[in-house]
Amino acid sequence: MNEFDPNTINDILRDFAEVDEDISALFRDADDADATNRQTHLLGANSKSAHELAANPPEKPVHIVEDLIVEGLTLLCGAPKMGKSWMVLDMCASVADGLPFLGRKTLPGGVFYLALEDSFDRVHTRLLKQGHKMSPRFSIATEMRALDTGLIEQLDDWRSRNPDGRLVVIDTLQKIRPTQKGGANAYEADYNIMTPLHNWAKKNHIALVIVHHLRKTGTFDSGDPFERISGSSGLTGAADTSIVLARERNSDDARLLVTGRDVEMANLALHFETARCQWRMVGKDADTYFALRAYMDDPLVDCLRKLLDKNPGGARIGYDALMAEATEFIGYPPATDSRDLAKKLRTLAPQLMEYEGIGLSSNIRLDNGRVRGVHLTRIHAAKSTAIQTTLNTAV
């Protein structure tokens, strides 16, 4: 009987295993191809398998204004006469010339600004006010058709003449609304308005910004600012990005709140420079920035500093006496009464310690227990850079 060489047996087994793996791979490839075929031949659907997406990743949307304005549809809302048009005009001119906008990089290209509530004279005057060049890549229209009477065709015409087009701004939505049809609910009607605009922007790789209004009810400190957008949630539902310019009347400060599919949520602190009528970003964290500004501008804080300067070893003072001293120093009462003053001091205590190195103990008993007041003491040397460091972090 012939004996088999063990090495020969191992070679045969290994060959069988390799053949089996090759056959399995063929079946897997066939299954993958069949699955892909099923996914990509759905009737009337634009579909792909996850395998195809992994093999050929789609291009990511291009940012026209870094981390703010992206290819697709953006809804930018604010209360009437609060600086929306100044903002988008500055944005348009900045993109046309490739200049930073709100401190962010822009992708230069052709721009079409539909200033449908303005005249050419007003737009020209505002561009001069902001110090912009009159770029040939910056097109302006003061009259356009509505959505149901040829607006998309007009946008197509502009796009065909401007192959480098990047940005279109429609100011405002109300000016291009189609004739209202009966039967549709508010959400459906609003969504149907935004859909053709969204489709056009995506098809043409354009950032299309629609300027819209906020309802006048409520304040920006109460509830969700996005809930104040005039109309139904069909508007924000169809938009890729929603932006709210939240500014209180008679104030040059504002928040710019951003949420979207292709941008990170943001709550930016802005300041309106009245000399050039331009918005400037002063903080990337509005909550931190404005809280610190309020602290820095609080005259009561300055009064407490002066009190410690006069009493380097510490100061113990009753609420009524502090109220009188602060009133004399500031020129008006810092609180309605001693109880309100005590509440304000308790709120200031953590910031006094963090920024000034000042310890504040409130509601202590003075004068054998007959008087309530505060004890101020310098715990450590004032952090001269603490406030600036926090401001730099916020910015």
Other C-beta atoms closer than 10 Å to the C-beta of 340 total 14
| Tokens standing for residue 308 | 């410690």
| Tokens standing for residue 355 | 């920024």
* Burial (0-12, 13-18, 19+ Cβ within 10 Å), 197: buried
351-375 confidence digits (pLDDT tens):
898 888 899 998 888 877 777 889 9
- The pLDDT > 90 percentage for the chain reads 60
59-101 confidence digits (pLDDT tens):
888 999 999 999 999 999 999 999 999 999 999 999 999 999 9
The yes-or-no verdict on residue 384 having pLDDT over 50 is no
Give the whole-angstrom CA distance, residue 99 versus residue 142.
24
Which helix or strand (DSSP H or E) is residue 360 part of? Answer: strand 358-366
Output b/e per residue, 236-255; b: 16+ Cβ within 10 A: bebbbbbbbbbbeeeeebbb
Specify the pLDDT at position 391: 56
DSSP 43-102: TT-----HHHHHHSPPPPPPEEETTTEESEEEEEEE-TTSSHHHHHHHHHHHHHHT--BT
Give the pairing of strands 358-366 and 138-141: unpaired
Give the whole-angstrom CA distance, residue 26 versus residue 10.
24
Specify the pLDDT at position 52: 83
257-275 confidence digits (pLDDT tens):
999 999 999 999 999 999 9
Specify the pLDDT at position 370: 75
* Burial (0-12, 13-18, 19+ Cβ within 10 Å), 214: buried
pLDDT band at 11 (very low <50, low <70, confident <90, very high): low
Specify the pLDDT at position 170: 98
The yes-or-no verdict on residue 235 having pLDDT over 60 is yes
291-327 confidence digits (pLDDT tens):
888 888 899 998 998 898 899 889 999 999 999 999 9
Specify the pLDDT at position 27: 55
